[in-house]
Amino acid sequence: MVDRYHLFRFREEEPIPGKSRRLPRPMVDVLLEWGGAEASEKSLVDSGSPRCVFSRGVAVWLGIELPEVGSGLADVHKLRFLNNEWEAISELVTLRLPPFNDLRWEAEVDFVLDEGLPYGLLGHEGFMDRWAVSFNAYHSYFVVEPVETLHGRLPIDVFEVWQAEWPDYN
């Protein structure tokens, strides 16, 4: 098996509220495809986010019809993050993470209805459950790789350790 991984540097994107400096964060540009259209969104790799969430602008660019905020439609649900409550809809899209251009995956993601989301979120369902991600904040980088690559280069059998450490899990 060929090792495939990519080192990304933390990027200093948005200023820290009330401060003049910027916070380095694990950000990547991810590509979304839907209905023959393609869009890119700057996204935070967020291990605390349960799902992937993207902006209204990306949904519009892809041609996804969004209801008005406050419409009360059945397929609209509420998300709470970034100190806000956001209305959103879910849609099945194809995602791609450059430089892994040959690896595409489908995931149900959320698109917020309101303007103002400064970047997308790559959360557990739809990203972290498909990729191995290792953070090194001390040196301001993170590694993203297919799960098989990580397991292929570890000197231990992860499943064997898992079973020994947590025999009653699942």
- The domain spans of the chain are 6-165
Q: Which range (71-75, 89-93, 101-105, 108-112) has the least confidence?
A: 71-75
- Please give, one letter per residue, the 3-state secondary structure of the chain: CCCCCEEEECEEEEECCCCCCEEEECEEEEEEEECCEEEEEEEEECCCCCECEECHHHHHHHCCCCCCCCCCCCCCEEEEECCEEEEEEEEEEEEECCCCCCCEEEEEEEEECCCCCCCEEECCECCCCCEEEEEECCCCEEEEEEHHHHHHHCCCCHHHHHHHHCCCCC
H/E run at residue 150: helix 147-153
d(CA 53, CA 30): 12
What is the structure's pLDDT at 83? 82
What is the structure's pLDDT at 2? 54
User: What is the mean pLDDT of the segment spanning 78-92?
Assistant: 91
Give yes or no for residue 118 having a pLDDT over 80: yes
124-155 residue pLDDT tens: 999 999 999 999 999 999 999 998 887 777 77
Tell me the residue type at 79: L
The yes/no answer on whether domain 6-165 falls in CATH 3.40.50.150 is no
Tell me how far the alpha carbon of residue 7 is from its chain's centroid.
16
d(CA 143, CA 165): 26
3-51 residue pLDDT tens: 689 999 999 877 767 777 788 899 999 999 999 999 999 999 999 999 9
User: What is the mean pLDDT of the segment spanning 107-116?
Assistant: 95
User: What is the mean pLDDT of the segment spanning 151-161?
Assistant: 75
51-66 residue pLDDT tens: 999 999 999 999 999 9
List 24's β-bridge partners, or say none: 12
d(CA 14, CA 6): 23
Give yes or no for residue 74 having a pLDDT over 90: no
What is the structure's pLDDT at 168? 79
What is the structure's pLDDT at 125? 96
H/E run at residue 38: strand 37-45
d(CA 157, CA 137): 27
What is the structure's pLDDT at 8? 96
Give yes or no for residue 110 having a pLDDT over 90: yes
Kindly indicate the confidence band of residue 1, based on its pLDDT and cuts at 50, 70 and 90: very low
